[in-house]
Amino acid sequence: MRPSSHRHRTAASRTPRSWSRSQSGSWLASQAKRPRSSAGTSTPTPIGPSADPGHSALDHTEVLAIVEGRFTHRLSRNVVSSASDQPLKTPGKRAKHRPRKSTVLIVLNLAIVLLVGGGTAAYGALSQTVTLTVDGKSQNIRTFGGTVADVLEDHAVTVRPGDRVNKAVTSGLSDGDTIEVAYAKPITLTLDGKKSTRTVYDRTVDDALGSLGVAQASGSYVSAERSTVIPRAGTTLVVSTPKALTIIADGKKKTVTTTTPKVAGVLKEAGVSVDKDDEVKPAQDAYVTADDKVRVVRIKKITKNQMIALKHETVVRKDADALVGETEVVREGRNGKARQRVELVYADGKLRKKAVVSSDPVAKPVAKIVSRGTKRPPIADTDGGDGGGGGGSATGNTVWDKIAQCESGGNWSINTGNGYYGGLQFSAATWKSVGGPGLPHQNSREVQIKYAKILQARSGWGQWGCAGARFN
């Protein structure tokens, strides 16, 4: 079997650059407490730390005690207990070689003790004690590292952009130093309906709210437990402090004080129920703010069937044989009927909208057909005479001649330049409204009288200021 001291030497050679106090203490204690006994001999003094803090050393008496214990333990298995109890045997080959093996073991054990003692002393002399705090959690460690970066690397601490380290990572270390690493954590904070994105370096929700200066009024709503540890990736927090709101529903106003963050929760808390058709402003998933007014409009939808009239259209056909302005109804129109399914939408009892869901015709409408003349009347002779064209005066003695005499001095071709034309002083718009071609003064006396009769039949004698002249 391999000596147990060899296993301890191998473990010592693998000592890491940085140990915590608990790790190093456990290892040294295991070395000090290993049993070293022999028959009839005293127990050797264990290896322990020296009086100098942070260092361990071996006293020469400890070394002798260990060697003595190892040697005595090995010899005790071969020593004859009493000459009178057993016959003296002639020593064989094995007996001859036993002293040499014991001597080798003594030398080997002495080398192991010196190695362990020297390693322990070197560990204490070369290592340093520092306090490492990462995201609010602290631990005391022993390290052989020379810089802050060494310690962070040994403990798998990765520093990202935005994180805070109280020392430059390249700075050296001294015994008793403190290294603090605070992670940058993005926080989406909604405080009383107002959203913002912030960065905190705190471990818990409670500490983060304190750093953000959020006043934590009694009874305030917080979306997470205050003791919750904020992950490095960040989190979302909603804080709602007590606030007064007005709820308007069913024709009534109600004022409530609440810490509930969203409209839906406020309505539920106030005992106001809503269905899928009701309108709520602000929306139910919206955050509330102080002095908000929450309105609930009751929506009721009714579907019913009804019979409606389908209006007929009017079709106009051109008639080249009839004069311009002449019309004739060829066929009278007739409305149709349709059966409709309609949806009526009421908001708080008032009809807001009527929508046709479907329509089935029962009787098709019949279009009205009207014939309209397009033939231009002949232009009167401008040489005078009864035609009255050109600049001639009226030659007749009809009421129209009397009116023309009053209106234009009987000049049927006059253009006064004031927007009125011809013997009867038509405006262009009025002339067009009765179907007159061109402008009045461009037509004969007879044509002007024709359309004057149409206008008189439609609107009466009041269209002419000189209508009274017809009685002259």
Q: Do 205 and 260 have their domain in common?
A: no
CA-CA distances (angstroms) from residue 140 to 101, 130, 131?
45, 6, 4
User: Does 421 fall in a domain?
Assistant: yes
Provide the residue range defining the domain that includes 228: 185-240
How many domains does the chain divide into? 6
- Cβ neighbours of 191 (radius 10 Å): 20
Residue 461 has pLDDT above 80, yes or no: yes
3-class SS shares of the chain: helix, strand, coil, % to 5: 30, 30, 40
Residue 20 has pLDDT above 80, yes or no: no
Give the separation between CA 467 and CA 460, rounded to whole angstroms: 10
Q: pLDDT grade, residue 102 (50/70/90)?
A: low
Q: Do 350 and 277 have their domain in common?
A: no
User: Does 88 fall in a domain?
Assistant: no
Rg for the chain, CA atoms, rounded: 58
Q: Do 230 and 152 have their domain in common?
A: no
User: Does 121 fall in a domain?
Assistant: yes
User: Does 467 fall in a domain?
Assistant: yes
Q: Do 277 and 320 have their domain in common?
A: no
Q: Of residues 83 and 436, which shows the higher confidence score? A: 436
What is the greatest pairwise CA distance in the chain?
188
Its pTM surpasses 0.85? no
Q: Which of 405, 407, 398 is nearest to 446 (CA)?
A: 398
Give the separation between CA 326 and CA 323, rounded to whole angstroms: 6
Exposure string over 126-139, b if 16+ CB within 10 A, otherwise e: ebbbbebebbbeee
Q: What CATH number did the domain enclosing 218 receive?
A: 3.10.20.30
Q: What CATH number did the domain enclosing 431 receive?
A: 1.10.530.10
Q: Of residues 438 and 41, which shows the higher confidence score? A: 438
- Cβ neighbours of 316 (radius 10 Å): 12
Q: Do 280 and 319 have their domain in common?
A: no
Q: Do 49 and 116 have their domain in common?
A: yes
Give the separation between CA 154 and CA 174, rounded to whole angstroms: 17
User: Does 354 fall in a domain?
Assistant: yes
Residue 177 identity: D
Q: Do 358 and 311 have their domain in common?
A: yes
pLDDT tens per residue, range 140-167: 999 988 899 999 999 999 999 999 999 9
Q: pLDDT grade, residue 80 (50/70/90)?
A: very low
Residue 6 has pLDDT above 80, yes or no: no
Q: Do 36 and 108 have their domain in common?
A: yes
List the beta bridge partners of residue 337.
Answer: 309, 363
- pLDDT for the residue numbered 340: 94
Give the separation between CA 272 and CA 286, rounded to whole angstroms: 16
Last residue of a domain, one of 240, 263, 280: 240
CA-CA distances (angstroms) from residue 449 to 49, 424, 433, 453?
138, 8, 15, 6
Of 303-312, 353-362, 394-403, which gets the smallest average pLDDT? 394-403
Q: Of residues 164 and 3, which shows the higher confidence score? A: 164
- pLDDT for the residue numbered 439: 93
pLDDT tens per residue, range 444-453: 999 999 999 9
Mean pLDDT of the region 370-391: 56
Residue 81 has pLDDT above 60, yes or no: no
Q: Do 412 and 458 have their domain in common?
A: yes
Of 206-220, 388-402, 410-424, which gets the smallest average pLDDT? 388-402
Q: Do 462 and 415 have their domain in common?
A: yes
User: Does 366 fall in a domain?
Assistant: yes
User: Does 89 fall in a domain?
Assistant: no
Q: Do 18 and 48 have their domain in common?
A: yes
- Cβ neighbours of 315 (radius 10 Å): 13
User: Does 86 fall in a domain?
Assistant: no
Q: Do 229 and 326 have their domain in common?
A: no
Residue 316 has pLDDT above 80, yes or no: yes
